[in-house]
Amino acid sequence: MRRAPSTTGTVLTVLPQGTRVQVGTCTTWCAVTAGTRHGYVSRSLLRFPAPPTPAPRPATPSSGTYTNVDGQQIQRPVVADTRPSGASAQCRDGSYSFSMHRRGTCSHHGGVATWY
């Protein structure tokens, strides 16, 4: 941990590997607090925990509509054994989308598996 965000900054202390620190702003160097000491550590020396993986949303039949970017009412995605009339894509979770545009299609359903 250094007094200034630079390799020429005075070394305040050497933190053992695995030491947990509170991290403030980061660019190439991160402002950190370890116990009562405040200083800077090179971002390359820090390990950040991976963000939690969201639980997959179960595919369930949806009812109703939504308004797309063109202001049109579009049927919400549905789960069906066969391709419903008017479906434009099948999502990776098995649901069918009726989206009029490719951008954002199946974005809450694991992405597009098949375009129609």
pLDDT (tens digit, 9 = 90+) per residue, 31-82?
Answer: 999 999 999 999 999 998 888 887 765 545 556 888 888 888 888 888 888 8
* Overall domain count for the chain: 2
User: CB–CB of 111/94 below 8 Å?
Assistant: no
108 belongs to a structural domain? yes
Residue ranges making up the domain that contains 74: 65-115
Please tell me whether the overall predicted TM-score, pTM, comes out greater than 0.85 for this model.
Answer: no
Q: Is 93 a residue whose pLDDT tops 70?
A: yes
Q: What is the pLDDT of residue 58?
A: 56
Distances (CA, A) of 38 to 2, 6, 13, 17: 9, 14, 10, 17
**Both tokens of residue 60?**
């369930």
53 belongs to a structural domain? no
26 belongs to a structural domain? yes
3 belongs to a structural domain? yes
54 belongs to a structural domain? no
58 belongs to a structural domain? no
